[in-house]
Homo-oligomer: A and B are copies of this chain.
Amino acid sequence: MSEFGLIEITEKDDVFTIEIAGLNGKTHAGLARVFRRAHESDARVVVVTGKDKSFLAPEKYEFEWVKKLGIYKDMLQIFKEAEDIVRDQINCEKVTIAKVYAPGAHSMGASIALACDFVYASEDATFSDPHLSGFGVPPGDGGALLWPTRIGLSRAREFLMTDRACTAKEAYEIGLINKVAPVDQLDAEVDALIKKLLSYDPLGLKMTKKWLNQYLQQNMNIVGMGSLFAEGMVLASGNFAQKTEAYGKQLEAEGKRKG
């Protein structure tokens, strides 16, 4: 593990790349610092992706760590990190690109992807936020902020309040993501986007990103902060550990559990 846990970073040719291999305690703490590091770097573009052509989904969570969210003291530390992750992502002045391979971006993985300026996905990737349907809590780590900002409140309700997952193709059609590509062409598509972005005036690019982002900053104030603490309130209810145990077993039964 690096200083950021299961996250590897590389900085090359004005591009800062963040590769996430899974989620455990150290990695969550790492996410709370890695976007700040990217912000402070000299890069102009940030790419977030999963290790070995993947992305982040509950099946990569270490469930023993997830259960800590049900322990009040641990939850407080994790929530501090959760707020930092969201804020750092939307305060990052670089253009950010999520490169999403199968199985796709789910739960916190979806929040990390959707907080990026651009989301490019392979055809076999899917998107969902099982905060409510899986873990029994409101989507406070970014879901309530990011899905409605991208696809409107009406459609967002459907994905956040039911257990429906969204294929990359549908995600593209409803405007959740910006590009869907065959799995073997996704790297090339992302590289083409990077090349274009780097060809622009650096300050012009930064200011365009920053001011479009103000819509997110505003929604962070209206919904983002509050939904986070609403999630905290539900986590404290004591039902969480049990819900999580059951959800973990379900994923295991589906051959999806890791930790």
Which residues of A line the B interface, CB within 8 A? 33, 36, 40, 72, 76, 80, 87, 91, 93, 95, 117-119, 131-133, 135-140, 144, 148-158, 160-163, 174-178, 193, 196-197, 200-201, 203-205, 207-212, 214-223, 225-227, 229-234, 236-239, 243
Q: Which B residues are in CB contact (< 8 Å) with A200?
A: 132-133, 136
What number of copies of this chain does the assembly contain? 6
Does A72 contact B238, Cβ atoms closer than 8 Å? yes
**CA A210 to CA B76, docked complex, whole Å:** 14
Which among B117, B162, B211, B229 is the interface contact of A223 at CB below 8 angstroms?
Answer: B211
Does A210 contact B230, Cβ atoms closer than 8 Å? yes
Does B234 contact A193, Cβ atoms closer than 8 Å? no
Does A160 contact B222, Cβ atoms closer than 8 Å? no
Does A211 contact B234, Cβ atoms closer than 8 Å? no
Given the contacts A154-B151, A156-B212, A196-B163, A137 and B201 also touching, CB distance less than 8 Å: yes
- Pairs A–B under 8 Å by Cβ, sample size 25: A72-B238, A133-B200, A135-B204, A137-B201, A138-B204, A144-B208, A144-B212, A149-B154, A151-B154, A151-B175, A152-B152, A153-B215, A155-B178, A157-B178, A161-B197, A201-B243, A207-B234, A211-B226, A214-B225, A215-B223, A217-B225, A218-B222, A221-B221, A229-B232, A233-B236
Does B175 contact A155, Cβ atoms closer than 8 Å? yes
